[in-house]
Amino acid sequence: MPFVAVHNPFKCLQCNWCSEIVDCPGADQEFCIGCGACVLACPNKAIKLVPTPREKKVLIEVDGNPGWVSEKISLKEALIELGYKISNFPEEKGVYSPCGVGGCWSCTLEVNGETKRACVTPVEEGMSIKTSLSKSEPPKRLVLDFMGHPVGGVGTPYQLRYQNGLFVEAVCLAAGCNFRCPTCFNWSYTYQGKGRPLTPGEAAINLTAVRKELNLNRMLISGGECTLNRAWLVQFIQKLKELNPDPLACFHIQTNGSLLTPSYIDELVEAGLTDIGIDLKGLEIDTFMWITGLRDKELARKYKDNAWEAVKYLVNKYLDKVFIGIGIPYNKDLISFKEVVQIGKLLFEINPFLQIGVLNYKPDYRSKIIPATYDEMLAVYRALKETGLKTVLAWAEEGEIIGP
Ligand code: FES
């Protein structure tokens, strides 16, 4: 059943995020295709999708086969109507569409000879669609805010963090994420779908320019979730390495780890990856779903288990090549103290020398939680140290770190 986005005027605060950051194909109901991007992006949960009948059908062609689909829907929905599978995991069959807001450009199709995103592009009468691109062109991705960063990420060795207010890394942020964390602190990037997407080469030139201008050695891509578009990320690291062949250059990604399969990790390391920060969002599936905002239990379990397996794989195969930092969430409204300690014990078994960063989850985006106090973070820090982990950091207040 097609949908249309409906605004609740009592919840809407007129912030215009839905029209300014989402690549909305129809700003009013007349043209709305019910893609749901604005529903995901609205920080006030003021928009919902309601089913709407679409009597009229349009004729399109997909991979050479004609088919009738509802008018005023996205290409993704058109494919679903024609029986195509949509996947949220890159090594599964189907059209891969992990972010749904137009940011990651993973769902690209060839439409009348042009590359278009399935999730936010309206279907039109007579379209000729190919689910595999026939032209050889570099992948694209929306990447924002190339800049210096004074803190670094979970995968930044703690000795390098906070250099008296100086920048420690050149950073850029990839749009789109497969998680829906209510506490997302980068949500204006995460849900962004507008802007000119960049090829890996263009993005590498931009980040290298920041490195040179600020005289830095470390280059970080964060997000959103930078791993969504695999071909793009692998080529981006390759291009960065080509442009920065010196031994001091570090190529760092910050990720939730949910999509990092062994073959993906192998490709990234082969491309030049030197540092990685993985944010584990929980151990218990209920915690993981609460923190990530995911509703599909089977998919959430797959993401969670994959992130843990990615940590093990990296440690077993690449500990001598890649610096690995692990992020653990903490806020008593999101995860229990006991579960955090259990995570610590498991990480100790994987490797006691991993750098562990406990992140003080705060109110942001859709969450109104109260941040943990200094004493709460200190207690978590001490409990994790007692598990035997050697390098633990806990973020107490803005910029204040307990440990290691
Ligand atoms: S799934 Fe369409 S752009 Fe990310």
CATH number at residue 114: 3.10.20.30
Ligand 1 pocket: which of 40, 96, 104, 229 to mutate (most atoms within 8 A of CB): 104
Domain count along the chain: 3
Contacts of 65 (CB under 8 A, 6+ apart): none
Domain boundary among 130, 156, 171: 130
pLDDT tens-place string over residues 134-170: 778 899 999 999 999 988 889 999 888 766 678 999 9
Task: Find the residues whose C-beta lies inside 6 A of ligand 1.
Answer: 97-100, 102-107, 117, 119, 176
Q: Are 20 and 41 in contact (CB under 8 A)?
A: no
Ligand 1 pocket: which of 89, 106, 230, 232 to mutate (most atoms within 8 A of CB): 106
pLDDT tens-place string over residues 318-352: 999 999 999 999 999 999 999 999 999 999 999 99
Q: For residue 46, give its domain range.
A: 3-51
Residues 353, 297 within the same domain: yes
What pLDDT shows up at residue 102? 95
Residue 109 lies in a domain: yes
Residue 137 lies in a domain: no
What pLDDT shows up at residue 162? 66
Q: If 0-12 CB within 10 Å is exposed, 13-18 middle and 19+ buried, where does residue 232 land?
A: buried
Residues 165, 313 within the same domain: yes
Distance (Å) from CA 363 to ligand 1 centroid? 26
Domain boundary among 130, 156, 178: 130
Closest Cα to atom 1 of ligand 1: 97
Residues 300, 164 within the same domain: yes
Specify the CATH number for the domain of residue 42: 3.30.70
Residue 239 lies in a domain: yes
Residues 124, 244 within the same domain: no
Residues 210, 337 within the same domain: yes
Residues 238, 97 within the same domain: no
Residue 136 lies in a domain: no
Residues 204, 316 within the same domain: yes
Indicate if the alpha-carbon torsion angle 179, 360, 143, 39 is positive or negative: positive
Angle at 105 between CA 102 and CA 109, to 5 degrees: 105
Residues 394, 247 within the same domain: yes
User: Which atom of ligand 1 is least distant from the CA of 193?
Assistant: 3
Distance (Å) from CA 49 to ligand 1 centroid? 18
Residues 163, 17 within the same domain: no
What pLDDT shows up at residue 135? 73
Contacts of 388 (CB under 8 A, 6+ apart): 348, 352
What pLDDT shows up at residue 399? 65
Specify the CATH number for the domain of residue 243: 3.20.20.70
Residues 114, 240 within the same domain: no
Residue 135 lies in a domain: no
Residue 201 lies in a domain: yes
3-state SS, residue 179: coil
Q: Along the 404 residues of the chain, how does pLDDT read in single tens digits? A: 789 999 999 999 998 888 888 888 766 667 899 999 999 999 999 999 999 988 899 999 999 999 999 999 999 999 999 999 999 887 777 889 999 999 999 999 999 999 999 999 999 999 999 998 877 889 999 999 999 998 888 999 988 876 667 899 999 999 999 999 999 989 989 999 999 999 999 999 999 999 999 999 999 999 999 999 999 999 999 999 999 999 999 999 999 999 999 999 999 999 999 999 999 999 999 999 999 999 999 999 999 999 999 999 999 999 999 999 999 999 999 999 999 999 999 999 999 999 999 999 988 889 888 999 999 999 999 999 999 999 999 988 766 788 87
Residues in the chain: 404
How far is Cα 167 from Cα 403, in angstroms, rounded to an integer? Answer: 21
How far is Cα 22 from Cα 42, in angstroms, rounded to an integer? Answer: 9
Residue 275 lies in a domain: yes
Domain boundary among 100, 130, 160: 130
DSSP 166: B
Closest Cα to atom 3 of ligand 1: 102
Residues 242, 152 within the same domain: yes
3-state SS, residue 318: helix
Ligand 1 pocket: which of 99, 196, 226 to mutate (most atoms within 8 A of CB): 99
Residue 81 lies in a domain: yes
Residues 206, 253 within the same domain: yes
| Structure token pair of residue 64 | 């050479």
User: Which atom of ligand 1 is least distant from the CA of 96?
Assistant: 1
User: Which atom of ligand 1 is least distant from the CA of 228?
Assistant: 4
How far is Cα 281 from Cα 258, in angstroms, rounded to an integer? Answer: 10
**Dihedral of the alpha carbons of 241, 242, 243, 245, in degrees to the nearest 10:** 70
| Structure token pair of residue 194 | 């507008």
Ligand 1 pocket: which of 89, 92, 101, 121 to mutate (most atoms within 8 A of CB): 101
